[in-house]
Amino acid sequence: MNKTDSGTLDDIKAFQLLSEVADEQPISQRELASRLGIALGLVNSYIKNFVAKGYIRIKNYPHNRYAYLLTPNGMAEKARLAYQHVHYFTSLYTVTRQNYLQLFRFLSERGINRVAFCGVDEVTEIAWLSLCEAGLELAEVMDDRNVGTSFMGRTVVSLNHGLLSVNHWIVVTSVKRSQELKESLRNHGVSDEMILALDAHMHPTPAAP
């Protein structure tokens, strides 16, 4: 990830955090970390930065819960980040849609018509749309963080469960968690040759497994 990508993702997390606290309901930093999927220490760092910049004020409640009150400057910053947020995801959709479509067409040309997804977030639906356009079938959706949730009518299963029944190429369908998911797949005994991800220099020469 380059510096520009990192800065954009930082802005998105800042926007998400300001959005979470905008209703001014008491909440703990641990709850915020869980909702945003980031480390507790990072939430604390964002909050301190927001206070220092005058974006929020803090009202204390019992049991380590706080209400974070947006100041006028905080509301203006949230609006600015909202614009960037929309712009980022519009660009993300366009580029990611085409990249996944290129990958799935590549697989289709080589006689591969079924793949499994690993990772569920805002990118996964984009991958699914590209999969459908390329005419491939979805064999399974795996993600240890989202077990039991639904994705396009399918129940998301754990890697342990999914890999028992999956004998297909596995496409990592989360860009921000790509390295984490690839490492998890390797730890479950999946070879690198069976894992496809957009952040790799992909020139695979797949044969049906």
pLDDT tens, 35-79? 887 888 999 999 999 999 999 998 887 766 788 899 999 999 988
Question: Domain for residue 110, yes or no?
Answer: yes
In sequence order, what are the residues at sequence separation of 6 or more whose Cβ sits closer than 8 angstroms to the Cβ of residue 103? 130, 171, 196, 198, 202
Which CA distances in Å does 59 have to 63, 77, 85, 96, 167? 13, 20, 28, 41, 53
pLDDT for residue 207 = 41
Phi-psi region of 179 (alpha: psi -120 to 50; beta: other; left: phi over 0): alpha
In a domain, 202, yes or no: no
pLDDT at 202 over 50: no
Based on the structure, what is the number of domains in the chain? 2
* Residue range 188-196: mean pLDDT, rounded: 91
Indicate whether 80 belongs to any domain.
no
Q: How confident is the model at residue 201 (pLDDT cuts 50, 70, 90)?
A: very low
- What band does 200 get if pLDDT is binned at 50, 70 and 90? very low
Domain's final residue, options 22, 39, 70: 70
| Residues 97-108, mean pLDDT to the nearest whole number | 93
Residues 33 and 109 in one domain: no
The answer on pLDDT for 208 being more than 50 is: no
Rounded to 5 degrees, what angle do the CA atoms 44, 146, 32 make? 15
Give the CATH number, domain containing residue 30. Answer: 1.10.10.10
- Structural domain of residue 23, as residue ranges? 3-70
pLDDT band at 156; cut points 50, 70, 90: very high
- Candidate from 2-16, 94-108, 133-147 with smallest mean pLDDT: 2-16
Question: 166: domain CATH number?
Answer: 3.40.50.720
Pair (117, 178) in one structural domain? yes
120 shares its domain with 33: no
pLDDT in tens, 175-186: 878 889 999 999
| Boundary (domain end) residue, out of 20, 39, 70 | 70
| 33 inside domain | yes
pLDDT value at position 7?
A: 56
Please, are residues 54 and 10 in contact by the beta-carbon 8 Å criterion? no
